[in-house]
Structure 1
């Protein structure tokens, strides 16, 4: 088994080297003569492999550009920003990095939370002016994207649709905005008739723009499935951070494209575009009874004990009521569902977690 794996790695390295030699020869790196423009078609089933080898094996990341102004093969989408829509200077700067040279360049734009990533994506879609597939990580986000498109643009209601577990309207065939989730597109199980028809439409359509929200949180396999099941001329990823828990952030370079722009959150904060953040840590000693139990409990029980520490609950209640009296909006976060439920009931406040239905979330 080890010997076979070693041979496979050697063969892969040799293939990468041959591919690199061919590219160097094609662009004239081996001689001092003039550079040449080489055009060749790539087997669509090998595009991911070539992009990955160029990015990781050769350190020559490919640049994907879409000449949308001269695209006469795909139907134009009648969509513009409303006259009342205002794009901020840093949003314009981010978009200028994407649309340099009068083409749409695939890549990732990084903006902090609250800086208007959604409007950047919407403006990109209106600029390209072709069918756009928007992918987000939840049904709530789908609803938000839909409402934002209706708020900021002139898109006709018949040209924008949602594809979720509860909404399955067939998109307009002559140019549309389709908003869905990564899970809906990557789902591998059996679908109902309506969902299957929409998926066939998604797969057969050449999307002018594939707009991907929160690319840092999407599982690698799910993300890969979404990019391989769809055909798009340009990909734009939006995120607040280029940090992934699985450490596969570099994969985004060849699956989407390079980082096009990253805003400095301190600059945006200083100019009043995003809120000032003040972080404080509140230590809450355990009660004697809880601490005694904590010392002899297993790790899972220990986590529950420190989450339910009565002193911590009282500190949380005090902070919540103090800020409510000031008219502040308050979110209490817990990574323990049991603790979340107990806090919500004792504090008599609504809660949202994985089992919360879509209707409850939006009410």
Structure 2
């Protein structure tokens, strides 16, 4: 058996790949395999990657040959790669492109590589209804409106389509990024932001123009979106998670591009206008008067000849938006996210309907370069009073999590942390409004929930930025799109069960680089000897997988 000491990879027959971080060639190995291997966890010494069908199809969709994937693994392997792994990469890689979608006049043409595969797919219950007139023994006419549905069905069948049908032209939009912002500071895209935009657009080729960019919170995903807009130069629809995010996009577009104010429109619960660049929330688009009603605001998708649709926080994409996106395949589509983790397991739909992952960078890599703050994560496990523990024991299982989450002893720990972190800018985030109200009253800090009017939210966020108070107490509205760059301490008093996705978003609230370089502090308060501990372990996975150290303190 050949043994190459300086090589960084150990490839295992279950298609997992271990990367020894301290090996001399670790950086080169990471760069070589990241396009086709999914990073599963990245603690201090050994990072684990997994070769999955989706990760391999992502790489094939980005133009990476199978031979290059196998070659990268062999080049950086410490021990010989198991033959079965190379064979599986070959088999999975060859499946991509066995079905090809191209333009055929006013219709689309699906071409299938072999006659046996034609018969297999004709008998597939999801694929078959989407096939139109058979044009030859290996090709079928497909209606344009079925382009997205067909891609979903083919992915589910295990034969992802290579979509070469291209995009329609949207209305022209003259947009340039400014080198000096309108607020007077210099502005340049960071190298990784430009790389991400270039990987998405691919000089306008049919291989580019759709896909997902994965960057940590605080790393400037909005800047990447604006760089893509500058490349595409066409009317753009931007979909966001909430009104705070809408306003953030507005501020950045007005500050860092040459767009006039009247070129940017807002389509939300507060106003419904459209323009060359239109910002909308997922909430307004998925509103309907009753479960049986149509979605009245879906007309926005046809309000302009959009050349680009940007899905901010694409990992949150609601099912109705997935459905309408299936009909938008002729538009360029950009997904932006800090994590592609979806608790509903619909990552495959993101791949099929938005596009493959075009760019990803580990959180700790950007931290090492100073683009996001260093973070220290601490879980504080707090015992309950005997009476409360008995209440927890007698509570039906479905309600036990809330009893544990609202442990009254957490209030004292919050007071102690506020004293300990005096002088820092603190966010306190939780799930249950009654608990948050009690905290806000105890420590005399403003509370922002989903019921707080948008103008009041903006006022409080603004006063926090100005330093008028030390902290804010936030409900789940604090998970997304908060532009609070000075926040450097987050106290999580309760969460949404075991959501890794939420853990990623909350950590991201404090990852903007700090002027003095001091680390951010992320505290999670968890009730000892309850189900909250079990859910916390699952939430921890995201942090440890990204390489963050995780300390545990116990207060019995």
* TM-score using structure 2 length: 0.53
Contact 1:55–1:62 at 8 Å: present in 2 too?
no
Q: State yes or no: 1:90 paired with 2:192.
A: yes
Higher strand share: 2
Q: Within 1, Cα distance between the matches of 2:427 and 2:370?
A: 22
Deviation at 1:107, TM superposition (A): 0.4
Q: State yes or no: 1:341 paired with 2:450.
A: no
Q: State yes or no: 1:208 paired with 2:310.
A: no
| Equivalent position SS for 1:236 | strand
Contact 1:216–1:243 at 8 Å: present in 2 too?
yes
Q: 2:284 aligns with which of 167, 171, 184?
A: 184
| Equivalent position SS for 2:345 | coil
- Structure 2: tracts of 5 or more residues without a match: 1-121, 181-186, 460-556
Q: Which residue of 2 aligns with 1:265?
A: 363
Deviations 1:51-97 (A, max 9, x none): 123323252333467578xx5xx432121000122111111111121
Distance 1:300 1:67, change over 3 A: closer
Distance 1:118 1:23, change over 3 A: farther
Q: 2:145 aligns with which of 32, 45, 64?
A: 45
Q: Which residue of 1 aligns with 2:316?
A: 217
Contact 1:77–1:129 at 8 Å: present in 2 too?
yes
Q: Within 1, Cα distance between the matches of 2:127 and 2:249?
A: 46
Stretch deviating more after TM superposition (56-65 or 334-343): 56-65
Q: Which residue of 1 aligns with 2:266?
A: 162
Deviation at 1:309, TM superposition (A): 3.0
Distance 1:260 1:231, change over 3 A: closer
Q: Within 1, Cα distance between the matches of 2:287 and 2:406?
A: 37
Distance 1:131 1:329, change over 3 A: same
Q: 2:372 aligns with which of 260, 274, 277?
A: 274
Stretch deviating more after TM superposition (349-358 or 209-218): 349-358
* TM-score using structure 1 length: 0.79
Q: 2:171 aligns with which of 49, 72, 75?
A: 75
Contact 1:137–1:183 at 8 Å: present in 2 too?
yes
Q: How many residues align?
A: 325
Q: Within 2, Cα distance between the matches of 1:153 and 1:205?
A: 21
Distance 1:312 1:67, change over 3 A: closer
Q: Which residue of 1 aligns with 2:394?
A: 296
- Structure 1: tracts of 5 or more residues without a match: 1-8, 27-39
| Equivalent position SS for 1:133 | strand
Deviation at 1:287, TM superposition (A): 2.2
Q: State yes or no: 1:286 paired with 2:384.
A: yes
Contact 1:54–1:62 at 8 Å: present in 2 too?
no
Q: Which residue of 2 aligns with 1:247?
A: 345
**Pairs within 5 Å for 1:27-38:** none
Q: Which residue of 2 aligns with 1:5?
A: none
Contact 1:63–1:105 at 8 Å: present in 2 too?
no
Contact 1:65–1:106 at 8 Å: present in 2 too?
no
Contact 1:203–1:229 at 8 Å: present in 2 too?
no
Aligned-pair RMSD on alpha carbons? 3.1
Contact 2:235–2:306 at 8 Å: present in 1 too?
yes
Deviations 1:87-125 (A, max 9, x none): 111111111211224434200010011110011011111
| Equivalent position SS for 1:62 | strand
Deviation at 1:46, TM superposition (A): 1.6
Contact 2:135–2:141 at 8 Å: present in 1 too?
no
Higher helix share: 1
Stretch deviating more after TM superposition (106-115 or 96-105): 96-105
Q: Within 2, Cα distance between the matches of 1:18 and 1:46?
A: 9
Q: Which residue of 2 aligns with 1:15?
A: 128
Where relative contact order (Cα < 8 A, 6+ residues apart) is larger, the structure is: 1
Q: Within 2, Cα distance between the matches of 1:25 and 1:46?
A: 18
Distance 1:244 1:280, change over 3 A: same
| Equivalent position SS for 2:248 | helix
Q: Which residue of 2 aligns with 1:31?
A: none
Contact 1:75–1:130 at 8 Å: present in 2 too?
yes
Q: State yes or no: 1:110 paired with 2:214.
A: yes
Contact 1:186–1:225 at 8 Å: present in 2 too?
no
Distance 1:98 1:170, change over 3 A: closer
Distance 1:264 1:11, change over 3 A: closer
| Equivalent position SS for 2:266 | strand
Contact 1:95–1:124 at 8 Å: present in 2 too?
yes
